[in-house]
Amino acid sequence: MELTRYDDAASFLATAGVFLGAREAEHNLILGLSSRLEREPLLYGEPPYLAVAEDEGRIAGVAMRTPPHNLILSEIEEDAAVGLFVEDVREAFDALPGVIGPKARVAQFANAWRAAAGATPRLEISQRIFAADHVDEPRPTTGAMRDYEPAGDRELAIRWMDEFVAEAMPEDAAHPESSAEFVDRREEDPEAGLVVWEDERPVSMAGFGGRTPNGIRVGPVYTPRDLRGRGYASAVTAALTQRLLDSGRRFCFLYTDLANPTSNSIYQQIGYRAVADSDLWTFTR
């Protein structure tokens, strides 16, 4: 088995694109980031880490990282590929904040990284990847979706993102990008954005981005605590998903926190189906 690093997203996708696209939902994060890196190679200020493990010409798995963010693993066909990635990532980086990817494989990587780097792994978030190719109408609610308006919505969007991160992300999980940076990146990316559900005033928000060959990722979705239970999150997600499908996307993808039964339920009610589980492990020294 051999590992090859790639200097740019285009050559990386030329080798691994078919492998990743065969399970597009499971690989939507890698594919989405790669599509953005094709247009903006230094999106996060540093060259990305892009690696492919092959066994006699057959791809066994891929890994990528956009420092300072977490390492992302693809579906991996062979155990040996995980060890190969651990060795190469250890050579490339002195430390990692975390690793995200298929449940069993990231646990395997986390345990091997403990031995290789002397870091203590911790399972932070267990997620589920969902996909939708149609929308089932949610229960009726008041209000309507509109586009994000930078002049009037930016301050609110940043505050809501701060609240979302505080609620959805573990306190000690790495989150290198500020809410302001996230909101501004979504605004600047022509293939991403934010929408607002308005019921006399803004009551919920949803984002989208990460174009894949046939799809795009929806998220985050956030409704303030005092406005929940009124159907706003379902409504804005359904409306946004329908818009994206109508624009030519065959699929929409999203991640849910398995510890949140409400989100796992409402998305299935509007047409999303569960595809795979994805865990986030973090590392401390």
Q: Identify the band that residue 226 occupies on the pLDDT scale cut at 50, 70 and 90.
A: very high
Distance between CA atoms of residues 124 and 174, nearest Å: 10
Q: Global pTM?
A: 0.94
CATH number of 2-118: 3.40.630
For residue 174, is pLDDT > 50? Answer: no
Q: Identify the band that residue 176 occupies on the pLDDT scale cut at 50, 70 and 90.
A: low
* Beta-carbon contacts of residue 255 (< 8 Å; ≥ 6 apart): 127, 128, 129, 130, 217, 219, 278
Average of per-residue pLDDT across 178-191: 92
How much is the mean pLDDT over the chain? Answer: 95
For residue 279, is pLDDT > 70? Answer: yes
Output the pLDDT for position 264: 87
Average of per-residue pLDDT across 127-150: 97
Q: Which CATH number fits domain 132-276: 3.90.1310.10, 2.30.29.30, 3.30.70.960, 3.40.630.30?
A: 3.40.630.30
3-class DSSP state of 217: strand
Other CB atoms within 10 A of residue 225 CB = 8
Average of per-residue pLDDT across 57-65: 97
Closest CA to 66 of 50, 89, 88, 85: 50
What are the residue boundaries of the structural domains of the chain, listed by start? Answer: 2-118, 132-276
Average of per-residue pLDDT across 232-248: 98
Output the pLDDT for position 45: 86
Strand partners, 50: 64
Higher pLDDT, 175 or 34: 34
Distance between CA atoms of residues 23 and 27, nearest Å: 6
Task: Give the number of residues written for the chain.
Answer: 285
Output the pLDDT for position 170: 62
User: Any idea which residue has 């285009």 for tokens?
Assistant: 10
Strand arrangement of the beta sheet that strand 49-55 belongs to: 2-5, 49-55, 58-65, 71-73, 98-102, 273-284, 120-132, 251-257, 215-222, 202-209, 193-198, 144-147
Fold match between domain 2-118 and domain 132-276: yes
Q: HSE, CB side, 13 Å, CA atoms: give it for residue 102.
A: 19
